[in-house]
Amino acid sequence: MSFQFTEEQIKRYSRHIILPEVGGKGQQKLLQSKVLVIGAGGLGSPSLYYLAAAGVGTIGIVDFDVVDFSNLQRQILHNTERVGKPKVESAKMTLEALNPDVKVIAYNERIHKDNVMDIIKDYDVVLDGSDNFPTRFLVNDACYFLGKPLVSAAILRFEGQLTTFDYRDKENSPCYRCLFPEPPPPGLVPSCQEAGLLGVVGGIMGTLQANEALKLILEIGEPLVGKLLVFDALTTEFNIVKLRKDKKCPLCGEKPVIKELIEYDQACDIHF
């Protein structure tokens, strides 16, 4: 099936098309791809921005929060005028203004056990940029059950973590629970209050998440599977440690005990 680019698209994506690893074919793949981003915050802002600019054809965004002044130090999709507006609406406005080729689907709702499968099932790649453990475990388990690749990033203070779980290859890819079998119990998380975050850390890690998503869609390079990248903004150091598939993993191990979605208690309800 041939794909007709418009004049404007040829110009818009010329820097992609000129790359032999992308080309017209790759650009076509991007335009036909569907990516879901959980959270339109510190990580979602840069990842969504670059995915839209790259011409990812369908982008889903899940967030139930509204834009707050305290978000604007890092959540660059939003702006001062949009304080009080739902984040997904603000994100949609920004992304559609940047690239009209992109169809943005806004899910202005909290993700939970009963909607997560339905939301995720039609997407090719999922990016987790959420700010709490219950969501991270739920999204992980849902992606595992549905066989969707999950690009997971997390940020705190001056630190970022990134890895890709490729659940299209469940035999070989470790899962989030191989790394962290279960979330910290709510009472034990000492600082549910704001722990602080250097805004740019979200920019760096979210951009790397977009890079992972683009590689998966374009089928180029090596995704960060079986590796956990840890970034320290204070020393500007990236370190990579190995992630192994755990035979005793409760989700993907030899004798899995998790066979359906689990909803953990929210450790706290503060969103940053």
By CB under 8 A, name the binding residues for other proteins: 39, 41-43, 129-133, 135-136, 154-159, 161, 179-184, 189-192, 194-195, 197, 228, 230, 232, 234-235, 239-244, 246, 267-268, 270-272
What is the Cα 264 distance to its own chain's centre?
20
CB of 239 to other proteins, least distance (A): 7
Degrees, nearest 5: CA angle 73-79-80: 90
> Between 15 and 242, whose beta carbon lies closer to other proteins?
242
Residue (14 or 70) nearer to other proteins, CB:
70
Local structure of 226: helix, strand or coil: coil
Which of residues 93 and 267 has its CB atom nearest to other proteins in the complex?
A: 267
Q: Which residues pair with 66 in a beta bridge?
A: 86
* Positions of E strands within 209-267: 227-232, 237-242
Query: Residue 266 CB, nearest distance to other proteins (Å)?
Result: 10
Q: Cα 147–34–42 angle (5° rounding)?
A: 95
Token pair recorded at residue 192: 């549910």
Q: Please, what is the minimum distance in Å from the beta carbon of residue 129 to other proteins?
A: 8
Of 108 and 161, CB closest to other proteins: 161
The whole-angstrom separation of Cα 204 and Cα 214 is 16
Q: How far is the CB of 174 from other proteins (least distance, A)?
A: 10
